[in-house]
Structure 1
């Protein structure tokens, strides 16, 4: 994939231990826990958006309400959800304006067993990715995660942040 850093294998055992036995990763980030620091691209009183720590695509972001909720259907009023989705849209638009993007993938993942805090994944598929490496394949860490360094992620976060329009 043009413009994407090389990929490396992902340690699922360590990741699973962290998400199933550790604190809620979004709540830890919001509270300032240094072990859960991420590059924030957007933050207001209710929402935070940040680059994922182990991206499968450059610019892969997560958007989450700061309040610990697990179900957008059961725990958010419609007006809250629509405002939240407005932030999701603004972040996705900023990522797409920053990086060449053929398609922006958007989904909510997580479960009661791990990563239960509601969060939306935004993953920009770059142009030219062969079809058999798109969609779920492009998102799955089993297929490797990008080797990104902290300085590059910090610069990318600044660029995305500068393009967010709400």
Structure 2
């Protein structure tokens, strides 16, 4: 019984704590800017911009941007508003931050829907069929190689079992 009374004040303390869903360190970068400003305004130096329809973008595909990165340096990629139908495979070991653009009208609305705040949707409509591995239907894979992302044991994955 004493343990319960010790625990209740902790619950009260933690329930009053505000937890932010958006990182204050990146919010200035993520907010979609007017066309008169660079989309990278507010971003850390060296941030790469990806967009399917903005001519200021360095890449039109998230995977192209990730594949172009040298190993060893931390990198931030800002992904412009849009629907991206691709599989993103991160094979590098250096830190990588992927940021989606946010709608400045709804980004700070605590009652708002998270899917309307983030203007970026990455999806893959591949589904697992006989003979396929779950890794082939993933949207985001973080592994040293595609083979290593396959379900199984060991550093390179294992073949599917019948």
Alignment TM-score > 0.5, same fold = no
Measured against the shorter chain, the TM-score band is: under 0.3
Q: Quick check: which has more Rg, 1 or 2?
A: 2
TM-score, structure 2 as length reference: 0.26
TM-score, structure 1 as length reference: 0.26
Higher helix share: 1
